[in-house]
Amino acid sequence: MLTEYHCHVLPGLDDGSNSLGTSLAMLEMMKEQGVKRVIFTPHFYCHQEESVEAFLKRRQASFEIIKDKSPIKNMLLGAEVAVESGISEVKDIEKLAIEGTNLILMAFPYRNYEPWMAEEVYNLSIEYKLNIMLAHVHRCIEFCSEDEIDNILSSNAIMQVNNDAFGNWNEKKLAKRIVDECSRVVFGSDAHNISDSMPNWDIIKRKVKPELLESSDDMLDRFII
């Protein structure tokens, strides 16, 4: 059972799908590629949101639009939470964990790595007893030194790798290293649409061993509350 850990399918919620039609087309593509379980992870930027509760209401409203029409019936709600200064102190931040689990998807900002980023992630995990899943870690290659990458990969976090990283000249070396060295790795398309950022599970099925996909699929079940 392929599990989609990272996608922007919910319509009208972030920079992903902009309509019900696009959302259903994305889900149909995933189904055709073998995906049987989807975790919806719309962007959460603390500085742009009124509150976690307001975000959750918008997320639920968007989900209601597609839930009865989706060709994939096993669906869970989560978020891609941007690591920002003070994020670990935001009221109700723990409610952004993938529903039914203590897993939360976090994404480092696209800027030079600084120690406070790791501190925010660590503080959030300790304060709320959450397990951290780091989104598209292979993109750190652009913003981190070798030592900083070593520190990130040696952390206790689950590493989420985008399927298309193995086809990206700049990212594939680090993506392969993550898969080879890290004991907890999951995959996701990070799909935003059906044109230039579409579901791409056919790529990862060609690039990694079946047992790695099985391990990715099973990861979610280990953290069900």
The string of pLDDT tens digits covering residues 161-217 is 999 998 888 899 999 999 999 999 999 999 999 999 999 999 999 999 999 999 999
Structural domain contains residue 7: yes
Which strand ranges, in their side-by-side order, compose the sheet holding 35-40? 2-4, 35-40, 74-77
Other C-beta atoms lying within 10 Å of the C-beta of residue 126: 10
Residue 138 and residue 174 in contact, taking contact as beta carbons nearer than 8 Å: yes
Tell me the per-residue pLDDT of 9-64, one tens digit each, with 9 for 90 and over: 999 999 999 999 999 999 999 999 999 999 999 999 999 999 999 999 999 999 99
Label residue 1 by pLDDT band (50, 70, 90).
confident
What tokens were used for 8? 């922007």
Residue 98 sits in a domain whose CATH number is 3.20.20.140
What tokens were used for 138? 């292979």
Structural domain contains residue 29: yes
Range of 122's domain?
2-219
Other C-beta atoms lying within 10 Å of the C-beta of residue 124: 22
Label residue 140 by pLDDT band (50, 70, 90).
confident
Structural domain contains residue 224: no
Structural domain contains residue 45: yes
Structural domain contains residue 174: yes
d(CA 203, CA 133): 22
Residue 169 has a pLDDT of 85
Return the closest-CA partner of residue 20 out of 58, 79, 52, 63: 63
Structural domain contains residue 95: yes
Structural domain contains residue 225: no
Residue 42 has a pLDDT of 98
Residue 184 has a pLDDT of 97
Residue 115 has a pLDDT of 93
Total structural domains within the chain = 1
